[in-house]
Each structure stands twice: as C-alpha cells, then as structure tokens.
A = this chain, B = another copy of it.
Amino acid sequence: MTPDEFRRHGRQVVDWIAAYQEKIESYPVRSQVAPGEVLEALPPSPPETGEGFEGVLADLDRVLMPGITHWQHPSFFAYFPANASGPAILGDLLSSGLGVQGMLWATSPACTELETRVVDWLAQLLELPEAYRGNGVIQDSASSASLVAVVAALHRAGGGRPGRDGITARYTLYTSSQTHSSLEKAARICGIGAAAVRVVDVDPQTLAMDPACLETTIARDRAAGAVPLLVCATVGTTSTTAIDPVPEIGVVCRRNDAWLHVDAAYAGVAAVCPELRWLNDGLAQYADSYVTNPHKWMLTNFDCTTLWVADRAPLVGALSVLPEYLRNQATASGEVIDYRDWQIPLGRRFRALKLWSVIRWYGAQGLRAHIRSGIGLAQELAGWIEADAAFHLHPHHPLGLVCFRPLWPQLPDAEADATTLRIMQRLNDSGELYLTHTKAGGRVLLRMAIGAPGTELRHVRLAWDRIAAAVRAETAP
C-alpha cells in the first residue's frame, strides 16, 4: 500500500469510525448472532490475489458488525467498561504507523522514555506512593501484571532460587472468594498450583477480606511448613467492587514477610478524583505491587494496564535473560530501562502513545469529570433501586457498579435466582441494554456497571425502566 493509497483508505477508515460513533445507538448492544454464523459467512480459503481495501470495509459492515457486541454503546452495562476514546485510538494509530519495537531502550529510546514519563504522570494523577515513581510499566492486562507480581514475589521469597531451581518449597498465596480469577490462573502458571491458593473469608455484608482470618490462615500454613508468598488485596472486586482493607492486610503481610499485591484493576484510576484518594489507603506503607487498568475506566483503549512496584529488583531479577543478540552498549551501561525485563513477552508496542494522548487531551480535570459522571449516574440508579420495593439493592456501591436483584417474594431462592437470570437473558436479547450477573452470599445479583464515555442519564433511566417493567410483567397475575 503506497502512502497515497494509505491516505485514501486511512480517511475511509477514520470516517467509518466517526460514523460508527455517531450511529452506535442504532445497533443492538449485545450481538444477536448464533455460534458459527459469522464463521460460516467468511470464505473458507484465503484469496490468491490481493483485493482492494473496500472489500474489507464492505465485509466489516455485512459480515462482522452483526457479530459485534458494542462495548462503547452507552447502554453497555455488562462486565466493566472498556473505554475507547478518540485520543486513545489516534495514539494507538500513531504507534502502528511508527511500527517500532520497544523491547529494549536501544530499539527505540522514545518508546521507553515516554512510557517512564507518562506512567509517572499517572502515578501523580492518582497520588500513588513516592516509591512507585520510576517503577511503573505498561502491561497488556491485569492478569499478566498479577502473574508478573507473583513471579517477582517468588524471586524475593526464594532469594532467586525459584527461577533457577524451580519451585522446591511449599508456597501459599492468599486471596478472598472475591479475588479475580487471574490470581488462580497465575498460581497455576507459575508452578505453585491452584491448591496453594487459600481463599480467605470475607465480611458477609461488604464482601471485603477479613484480615483476622488472613492472619490465622497464614499462621496455620506456616505451622504446616508453607511459605506465605503473596497476598492479593483487591480494591474494587470484579463481582461487586468490594474494597479489601489494605492497611490491615498490609500489617499481616509485613509480619509474615509476604508480598502484598494490590489489584485495583477497575477502581484504581478513580483515585484521579481527590475525594476518592481513600482508594490508595495503605499502598504507601505496605503494597509491593499495584495494578490498575486505564483501559477499563480511563478512556484508554485496551490494552493498557499499569503496574507499579515498590522495588524493581525482584521483578527484573525474575524476568531478565540476556542473550548475545540483545546485548548493546546502553543496556551494559546500566543507565537505561529495558522494559522487556518487566514483562512476560519480549516484544512491546509503543503503548505509551495512547496514554499520553489521553492524558493530554482530557487533562486531570477531564479525567475527573469522566469518573465523576459514572459514579453520579450509578448513585442515581442505586437510589431508584432502593426506592423500589420489588428489588434488593446490594448496599455497597461506592463507584460505578451497582448490584441488585429482584426480590421475587413468592419464590424459593433457587427458583428466584433462575427467574432473575431468565429476565436478564430476555433483557439482553432485546438489544436495548446489556448487563451481566454475579453471585454473592449464594444469591444471583445483577450487575450494572456504568462508565462508557457516551452513557447519559437517559440511558441509565431507559435500562432501569426496562428492568423494572420486566420484573413487574413477570410478577403480574
């Protein structure tokens, strides 16, 4: 593709995206296709000769769009938001256009140094601990970042032996029932195994980890000869945005020489608002590693997870391997950061460009306004639910996620839960909104996560009206 062809097709794609943004509300939020429908509509074999780019755009509209679930739709309330934004899209486009590899400082110094700077900007915006300054890195996902934290914790706990000799001690890892599944996945991958994951009790109301139970669980494990490796405290769990008590957990970690990893994948970026800085409680004193995802609620397209560590030595110690073909003067000088030693993959895209574009376009004020808008809408919604006698509101909803369930007073619990899920399915099938569910205290809860850039009061109102009407229709005689 010549530069002139790129200009022409590039404009087509830019216009396509702008038009998509303008008409996104005309699509059903959740794709309505059945398994195999898109696959069947795509030619089974690749073309022998090249085609124009128009065919791609035509098939995008004809074949792919029916199979798209619109995460940027203002009525998308499922999972957590995965914000896209104009400046992030364009920052990523610049990254693709430059096509550089940022594995080493030497392979494109600006790729490393912009990342150092912009991740530091984010640390300032969130008022993260001083110790994190210069010790941050962009990862693809919180899952990978948590695996990296576990591997660094192993390096520290085992004095470098686990990387060299493998897992030879009995390490244990502490989560709650509300911790993200990526911690169990990390335990499987890193060789300590899922059975080494201890599920610490939570407070039945707040669903926050119980530090006393953590302490007794660790004591029991130590008595049995295990080494308490890492505790994952979550600030804003995936299920219900429960907030684990990081300061109290940190005290237990310190006493037991365990690594404290704080997973604030969804909630962490909200600390851009000064009134939410309590989200950082305990980080400065106790957290060895901290992760939050600008790609969820901070307007930066996936993938952009930020991981900070209080001390980079165990991280780099665990992950650095230097073959001859990567040796270079800058690395040997020790004056530069090679971010390949801070992550699983070797190669790296220039992801800092999109975070840089986002922070510059919105500024601190714009980012705060976005977070506050999501929280404001969620609190409105919570008010409506609370005022409706047909519903139970999960009492804990400090951010953009609201969990609730219809009461179905006539039904036994299991049947009530099945009815709730059936109603949810019907609402999602309508294409007017998309929400997902979780379980807490053994009961199904509906989750409405608010935070797409385009979501306004009218979208939340429409969703609530549909939900309330569906429940009333079900209970009507």
Contact = CB atoms under 8 A, between A and B. Distances in A.
Contacts of A321: 181, 184-185, 188, 194
A116 B40 CA distance: 11
Contacts of A347: 82, 140-141, 143, 295, 302-303
Summarize A's interface: helix, strand, loop or mixed: helix
Contacts of A101: 71, 79, 82, 302
25 contacts: A1-B87, A1-B361, A6-B18, A6-B86, A10-B93, A13-B97, A35-B335, A38-B114, A50-B362, A55-B360, A56-B360, A68-B109, A70-B100, A84-B97, A99-B302, A143-B344, A144-B345, A162-B193, A180-B323, A181-B322, A185-B344, A190-B190, A238-B323, A303-B345, A328-B436
B324 A94 contact: no
A21 interface: yes
Contacts of A195: 164-166
- With most chain B CB atoms within 10 A of its CB, the pick from A45, A142, A163, A344 is A344
Given A42-B117, A56-B91, A86 B5 contact: yes
Interface in A18-39: 18-22, 31, 33, 35-39
B181 A193 contact: no
A89 B143 CA distance: 26
A365 B48 contact: yes
A359 interface: yes
Interface string A118-137: 10111011000000000000
Nearest to A105: B35
Contact of A9 (B90, B107, B333, B359): B90
A120 B45 CA distance: 8
A10 B165 CA distance: 51
A7 interface: yes
B4 A324 contact: no
User: 5 closest Cβ contacts across the A-B interface?
Assistant: A191-B191, A1-B86, A67-B110, A84-B99, A166-B193
Interface string A161-181: 011111100010000000011
Nearest to A340: B143
